Each structure stands twice: as structure tokens, then as C-alpha cells.
Chains A and B, each alone.
Chain A
Amino acid sequence: MENEVKLTTGVVVTFAIAVSALVVLPYMQVRDVKPPEGLKPYTSAEQRGRAVYIANGCMYCHSQQPRSESFAPADAKRGWGRASVPGDYYYDKPHLLGSMRTGPDLLNIGVRQPSKDWQLGHLFQPRAYVPESIMPSYPYLFEIKDKADPDEETVNLPPAHVPPGKVVVARPEALDLVKYLQSLKRNYPILPPEPRDTTGAPAAPAAPDAAKPAGSS
């Protein structure tokens, strides 16, 4: 190759094709997605909790994208919920789909584990609830003191995990984070996906039904 213009042009062209295919086309395809009726915007406390989730990197171990029953049947059986659709993420900025499942999927943790006490205690010391867990404990989201002030929230922990004569109170970050986790509920019904997105799955069973009366008559 002798020509630097050809080189740089080619390089930019390949890049432009890739941006069109993987950035612009998905943008055009999902920009008109509407929020499902059952999905509420986050409250400001939930939004703050979401920021705590992001700041502490929860998404590096927890995905938020249950997969379809045909691809990974265990997801639904574990109570992680139905396969998610683009509309489920309407209010999510930034997205938190995640790429690892060192811990379980959390898109429906608000359905599966709605208890505030459990969530707070589990954040303080995961191994108090799941002995084999390798989730870090988050003592910096809590305070250990002699007595809780009237407006403070005391965490109800299994007795072995509270220092004797002390109480564990949740800091506002922990309370917000739990509010966010409790809000994670994508269990409302959604319209079946448009047939074109499912590469024939619903269309295939429908076809014989439609063909049968035609064949018999």
C-alpha cells in the first residue's frame, strides 16, 4: 500500500459502516418504544438509590436482564421474571443490563425479596443470611452506635452479627438503595413481542392452525 489517503478513507469507511449497523440502526429501531403501562418512573429516593447502586459497582456482579425460557429456562424458574423487553428500561439512564452473574439477576428483586429488613441486613452482612455468599459487606453504608436517634432506622440483624450492647443504624444511602431494590419489579404484563422480532417462534405454531381449516374444507 502506497497511498495514505486510501488507507485513512478505508479506515473511516469501515468504522462508519459499523456505527450505522450497531449504533444508528438500534437507535432508530428502539427510539419509539413507549413505557409499558405497568412501569412507573423512579421516585427521587429510588433514583438516589440507583446512584448508590452505580457508584458502588453493583452492576459488575448483578445483571438486570432475565433471558427467555427457550434460551435459558433456569432464569424464570429461579423467579427472576419473564424475559425483559426494551420498554422495561424506559426510565433507565444509564442502562444497567450488566454482563456478569457472580450474583443473581436483580431486575425483579423487588418481587422476589420485598422485605426491607432483609435487604438492609443483607447489605450490612450478606453472610448472615447466605453463608456461602461472596458478596462484599457494606459497613460504610451503616453506623454502629450505642443507641439509635428517634429519626434513625435500626437494622434488625440476626443477634450474632450485632456487636454486644450496640445497634446498627442505616445511613440514608442504604435506605435509598433498598428503596431502589424494592422498586425493581417488571412483573406487569407486556404485549407479546411483534412477530418479526421472534424469528418465527409465535408465527410457527400459528401457521398450522390457520392452515388446518383451509386444508379440511
Chain B
Amino acid sequence: MEVGKVKRVAGPLVQATGLKASMYDLVLVGEEGLMSEVIGISGNKHIIQVYEDTGGVRPGEPVKETGAPLVAQLGPGILTQIYDGIQRPLPKLSEASGDFISRGLFVDGIDHKKKWEFKPVVKKGDVLKPGQSFGEVQEQLLINHKIMVPPKNKGGTIKEIYSGNFTVDETVAVFEDGSKLTMMHKWPVRQARPVTKKLAPTIPLRTGQRVVDGFFSLAKGGTAAIPGGFGTGKTVMQQTLSKWADVDIVIYVGCGERGNEMADLLHEFPELQDPRTGRPLMERSIVYANTSNMPVAAREASIYTGMTTAEYYRDMGYDCMMTADSTSRWAEAMREMGSRLEEMPGEEGYPAYLGARLADFYERAGRAEVLNGGQGSISVVGAVSPPGGDFTEPVTQNTLRMVKVFWALDSKLTQRRHFPSINWLDSYSLYDQILEPWFVENVSPDWNKNKRRAMNILQENAELEEIVMLVGSDALPEDQQITLEVARMIINFWLAQSAFHPVDTFCPYKKQFDLLAAILKYRDYAFEAIQRGISVAEINSVPSKDALAKVRLEAEYEPILAKVLAQMDVEFKALK
């Protein structure tokens, strides 16, 4: 390995001479050996981005090659971990350097001393293909970690395979050609892991959020963007999704976000119960926390590191969800590095390759048939933080070209404390049609029909509100006044959902459907009553309408809803 010399230091960027390293190779800069990556080669100079603070580094200090790109360590022991952007476990860092992160620390991504119980699933003489699993480790109580032949290994015939307790470095199987297999392998984070075949996203990802599942549903393996100005509830939304989405593994990448928020998450995840299993949510989570004041180059890498671990669990056949909060900070890291490299900037100072990088990232999502034979998926939810809440800016626009679901967060809704503050007119989901058969089969044939009815009412409401702003609501015809009232019910009783209410925070499909159907039923009653010549004021004051408002807060809602509907029937019949 060559050792080069630092020529120039300016911020997180270092130029060095005397190296033979390739692009994206990991190198160690300076006496302290700061982790860094080659991001440009020009003449005899290598341009290097440093993942740590460069204060005090001088020209003339050594730069050591490692001969490999930035890799993630993949093996049992990843789950429950809290990493920084380059897969260094944060608790290990604090053991090594205290409460503040110091420099030049190298910590393994997974524990190399811990022994795991390895159970082989193949036997001597079996022929293994790349990506095929040959053993299992019970990583967590409910997560069975499949040990796979690394995708870049050519495979072979098993000569020996052991069972028992091993560390990730110890040999657990030997091929006939003498090559050995351990429980861990390394994978370059910037490279997508291969699959056999990508599949169409035909299964919805249940989140328990009415506005998401009912109106703008995400498919397993789908991609969604949550753009919104600050304070519109992006982070709460992502955390709610992480808690409730019906996936096996959750990867949360806090990319350039707030330290206190990460602390909140790190505090909350271990205490949260997985609603389906009753086990702590943390047992199926991986958190990457690269806060905004941690080095910017590591922030740039964190998205790739997170995606690589997601792909690894997908390859085992699991459904994974990766949330990235926020991709704008990631793009800004690219911009910062680009401007230090004195690259010709594209729109708003972002590098010209912004679109290509975002595309590369979102394309790594999807549902797929994996090399191991089963199916797995990675759904990606990317938060976007547009400056000034302006959706025409480059990161939002480039993201919208890639993703299929758009949850537009609206600061006007936040100001009214309407949560989730997803605007029902601007948002969309392109999975609408492809998911319909699933909902018809599993919930109700009327799922999409009711959805469309409700959306039409809201659309009409938006048009009517403009008129109301001019002439007042009393000037409208009676049927339109009813529409306004029904829209208000859909918005307040159905779309609004409290993430902090113990029952309302999660709403199953059936309940979502029943509640919406009840509101639509009220509409039918009300229109029928108008025909009979009953006044709007009388219709709006039926007591069952107010009772309907609180059904969503009940866990055993069915008898209560039935009672409210029965009451509604009686009350409308009594109107004369």
C-alpha cells in the first residue's frame, strides 16, 4: 500500500500526492488516521473528502491507502445498533471517547467478539450459488438472520459445514476449492446489491394512518417523498410510519438532523412496543444518526450505508422500510463538497449530478425476488426540506421525478394543528390502481369507490370555499351547505389523526373503511332529508353527528359505531 502526502487542506477536503488509490477508495489522512474517501483524481493529485473534522491537519502529513472502498460490515449484530453515517456504532464511540465525538477512531460496525449460534441449513455436498443462504442465526427473538454466500463469491460445493457458537470472523463452512465462509462479509456501500428479478408493487404497506392508507397509499417496495417546510410535521410523520408500518425491518437514517430529536428517537424506540408482536420496536430497527453538526462527508455517506444494510436484510427475504430524514440535507452535503471542489454548479448551486444521484438512490428500492429464492422489499420514504417551503426547488423537483407517492405537507394545516398535515388536494399516489385488487379482496369491494367519493367531496369543498370567502356560507344552496359540512367531517373526524392518542395513533384498514363509510352514510341521510324539505340547521344539529366524531378514539369501536349509526337512522327519520 502506498503512503502519500497531504498537499492542501481546506475544510473537509484534502489534496494529496503520491497515492495510487482508485476512486471511492478509503484512505486514512494525517497522523491521526482520519477516515476519508477519494472523490477525485487529477494529475498526480488525489482529492479526498474526510469524514471527520480536519482542524490541525497540516501539509506534509501522511495519507495511507487501505486498498478498498467504503464498505459496510454485514453479519449478525446489525439490528438494534445506532450508527453514525459510516457504520460506527455510537455507543462504542462514546465508550472510546466520551460524550463528545473525537477524531481518528475506528470501530467495527458489528461486534467481532460476540459468539452467535450458527445452525447450518445445507449439508456437505450441497452446491451453493452466490447469495444463497447456508445457515441461520437467531439474531433477535423474532428475526432469523440468514447467513448467505456473499453475492460476489462464485459459490461452490460444500466440503465442510459446522454448527455451534462462532464469532463472525470464524470459519463456519468450507467449499471444495478450499475457500472459507464466515458469517460476515463486506459490501461497498455505493454499489447496489444484486437481485434475481424486480417485482411489481402489488401489496400495500399498512401504516395505520387514515390519510396515508385510505387516500395516498404506499406499496411494499414503493417510494414516497414527504416534502414540507420546517415545522410541518415531517419528522413526526416519519417516526409514526417507522412505528406502525407492517414491515420486518425498519432502517431510520437521520441525515443532518437535530441531535435532540435523535435523542428522543433513541430514547423512544427501545421503549416502543411493536404493535404486532409486543416486542420492543428496537429489535427490528437500525438507526443511523448523523446529526447536522457531525462531519458533512459522513452525512453524504450515511444514505448509502443505510441503503446497503436495507438491501442486506431484503436479500434474506424481509420487508424493509428505510426512512431518510432528510434527503435535502444529503443533497446539501453534496453541494457543499461540490462547491469546495470548485465544480461548475447546476441549479441553485447544487451539483449537476444531483438528479442522477437521487435516481440511483431511489432505484435501489423495490420489491424483488432475491438471490436466496424468496421475496423481499425495500420501501423508501424520503423527507425533503424545501427552503422556504418552495416545492419548485431542485431537490423536491428531482425527487418528484423518481417517487410514486407524494405526501405534500402543508404549513396551513400545521397552524390549525391538523395532523398529519398532509394536504389532501396536492398529494397523490400512483399505486392507486395497482393496489385496488388487494383492497377489494382483503377489506371491501367499495374501498376505492368510497375513497373517490370522499375525494370528490373534498374537491368540491375547496371550490365552494372560494365562493364562501366572497359571499358567506348562508348564500349557498342547501345541498352545497351540506357538502361543506360533510367535508368538514371528513377532515376533522377522519383525515385528522392524533399520533399521541393511544388508540387513534393506529387505525386498522377495517376501521378506516367503516369510519369513512359512516360519514358518507350521514351525507346520504342529509341529502335525502333536504329532499324532504328539512332545513340545513336541523340536519346539522342531529346529535349522532357529534357522537360520530369520537368513535375514532375507541379501540372497540364496532358496537359504538353501530349504535351511532342506529341513532342516526332514528334521528333522521324523526326529522319533519
- Do A and B pair up? The answer is no
Which B residues form the contact surface with A (CB < 8 A)? none
Which A residues form the contact surface with B (CB < 8 A)? none
